[in-house]
Chains A and B, each alone.
Chain A
Amino acid sequence: MGETVIEKIIRNNVGKTVKPGDIVTVNVDRVMIHDIFIPFVAEKFEEMGFTKLWDPDKVVLIYDHLVPASQLDDTRHFHTGDAFAKKYGMKNVHRSDGICHQLMTEAGYVKPGNIVFGTDSHTTTYGCVGAFSSGIGYTEMASILGTGTMWIKVPETIKVVIEGELPENVMSKDIILRLIGDLGADGATYRALEFTGSTIKNMTVASRMTMANMAIEAGAKCALFTPDEKTAEYCEIELNDFQKSLVGDEDATYMKTITYRAEDFVPVMACPSQVDKIRNVSELEGTEIDQVFIGSCTNGRLEDLKAAAEVLKGKKVADYVKLIVTPASRKIYRQAIELGILDTLAEAGAMITHPGCGLCCGRAGGILTDGERVVATNNRNFLGRMGTSKVEIYLASPKTAAACAVAGKIVSPEK
């Protein structure tokens, strides 16, 4: 009987064949805690009576949502985190290097076939390199820190096949938004998504990351991409036999299979205030906007900034529109400087901010007020996420977002 990718990863971890619905206890390969939740994790860990971490090297602490502090109480999170790291001998602490989900693969903490948990729903991102990764709360994180284990239910898998060549003005963001629209915000709840097909094979790891990142917006437990030579290069490893085997078997059992033709995709947006409210950009053209945000763990990578710079080169951001660009990590920030991308963006009128979560969680500069509209490349457009509950957030690809910044209204990127 064949296996899906998630079934192979769990089998490798627990040492026996599993099927959907089985409840198993897995040994965790790595965990990530970010600044918002570290005080709560620390409190629960000690309340549970633990006196040492199961393995300090497997724990990564990243400050990103609150860096640099914008409210007086934010600094308490850094002090609590630093004290916890010191007390329990943690070395993997990032205080201003970028967004947690970017750093976990970029800094080499996650490898293909790993099982990883993080205190953030977008932990699904590491599926881009073929890892099973998912978000959990701080109480469960505290129990993993003490035990190194967690119970999970083996999920059913939805297979998504995409074949062909994407149109020029379409990015992987448009694919994942369309899929979320088709599945609905709860269409993959408790399930694994498995991506395959020639379009996926030809895609960069960064583009796969955008898709894995947003799997949670359809409720998915994880999203998996088969590790290949691009993954090996990105992770700076040679794939072992187990990692090479992480492809869904022909005779594996899938809950359902969804097939797309790449040529059929068009630029789309998630309209206020649900991520599954998907419309073609062409239907929304002319809607006036106040701000554009290009960044986040969804779309703040080098290829995203480059795509935006190509659209903005030699042009100016429209009057009254604020364009905020936030690279996802310090490494990306420096690469974008070196390649002249940030200069192109700044020349066009962009405000470029420090690496971090930035406006995505409404904590850094750029919040909006009643009646204002923003086109943003992040993953959520929920009520009140970037200011008041009467702000309208449209989610789009970096190409679409950059085109809108120039036009001052919603427009499709050029073909």
Chain B
Amino acid sequence: MEKFTGKVWVLGDDIDTDIIIPTEYLALKTIDDMKQYGFCPLRPELAGQIQPGDIIVAGKNFGCGSSREQAPEIIKALGIQCVIAKSFARIFFRNSINNGLLLIEQPNLHDDIKEGDEITVVMNEHVDYNGKQYPIASLPENLMSIIQAGGLVKAMRKLNGLD
């Protein structure tokens, strides 16, 4: 996954976990049951429109709010390849890494991007959009190792000699 391209959905600042998945749907049995309600308080139609491989570009503090891990799981289940935001909330960041959802911090892309456009992400280097390159950082080693193991569950299965 050194380089990939996807269609962009644009969201604003402070997209909280109650927007990503409201509490009333958290007791549904599976992530697949819940995912149709993703982002419903803000854009009820969005979950039905997202196609596998799409990318979310958002403003600052994406994922703020509760510790519900269903938030990154639903985004992943909807087929989103990665979320690019100006910044992420702490718990959401950890939960995403542990579930193998790629997050990228980029301060300027959100100001320029138009919903529906395509962008190309070159991992650990930059994002290509409209003939312009937006630089991105590489992930710290300890986080990369969890992602490389395929998430925290797989890392622990390895620790317990199961895989």
Contact = CB atoms under 8 A, between A and B. Distances in A.
Interface string A12-51: 0000000000010000000000001100100010011110
A187 B157 CA distance: 37
Interface in B1-31: 14, 16, 18-19, 22-24, 26-29
A382 B157 contact: no
- State the majority secondary structure of interface residues on A: loop
A213 B86 CA distance: 26
Contacts of A77: 27
Contacts of A40: 69
A27 to B, nearest CB: 17
Given A135-B67, A139-B69, A151-B142, A219 B24 contact: no
A136 B91 contact: yes
Interface in A128-171: 134-140, 142-143, 146-147, 151
Contact of A71 (B27, B140, B156, B160): B27
Interface stretch (A81-89, A106-114, A383-391): A383-391
A385 B142 contact: no
A185 interface: yes
Nearest to A65: B23
Contacts of B66: 120-121, 135
A178 interface: no
A74 B142 contact: no
A139 B149 CA distance: 14
Contact of B157 (A49, A118, A389): A49
Contacts of B90: 189-190, 219, 221
Contacts of B161: 49
Interface string B88-103: 0111001100110000
A189 B61 contact: yes
A190 B91 CA distance: 9
A189 B87 contact: yes
A130 B64 CA distance: 24
A266 B76 CA distance: 44
Contacts of A123: 67
A123 B66 CA distance: 10
A52 B146 CA distance: 23
A170 to B, nearest CB: 26
B125 to A, nearest CB: 23
Nearest to A388: B41
Nearest to A41: B69
B118 to A, nearest CB: 28
- State the majority secondary structure of interface residues on B: loop
Interface in A42-83: 44, 47-50, 65-66, 71, 73-74, 76-77
Contacts of B89: 186, 189, 219
A383 B17 CA distance: 10
Interface residues of B, number: 41
Nearest to A383: B41
B42 interface: yes
B153 interface: yes
Contacts of A138: 69
B152 interface: yes
A408 B141 CA distance: 56
Interface in B68-119: 68-69, 87, 89-91, 94-95, 98-99
B146 to A, nearest CB: 9
A119 interface: yes
Contacts of B35: none
A137 B91 contact: yes
Interface string A214-245: 00000101000000000000000000000000
B60 A119 contact: no
B37 to A, nearest CB: 10
Given A140-B98, A189-B89, A384-B22, A44 B28 contact: no
Nearest to A75: B27
Nearest to B69: A137
Contact of A146 (B14, B95, B142, B156): B156
Contacts of A36: 23, 26-27, 68
Contacts of A121: 65-67, 91
A173 interface: no
Contact of B61 (A71, A185, A363): A185
Contacts of A362: 22-24
26 contacts: A36-B26, A40-B69, A48-B156, A48-B160, A65-B23, A73-B27, A137-B91, A139-B69, A139-B99, A139-B152, A142-B156, A146-B156, A146-B160, A185-B64, A186-B61, A189-B61, A189-B89, A189-B90, A190-B90, A361-B23, A362-B23, A362-B24, A382-B16, A383-B19, A384-B41, A385-B18
Interface of A: 23, 36-37, 40, 44, 47-50, 65-66, 71, 73-74, 76-77, 118-121, 123, 134-140, 142-143, 146-147, 151, 185-186, 189-190, 219, 221, 274, 361-363, 380, 382-385, 389
Given A23-B140, A36-B27, A47-B153, 13 more contacts: A40-B69, A48-B160, A73-B29, A119-B67, A120-B66, A137-B68, A139-B98, A142-B153, A147-B159, A186-B60, A189-B89, A362-B24, A382-B19
For the complex of A and B, list the 4 residue pairs with the smallest distance between their C-beta atoms, beginning with the closest: A49-B160, A137-B69, A48-B156, A186-B61
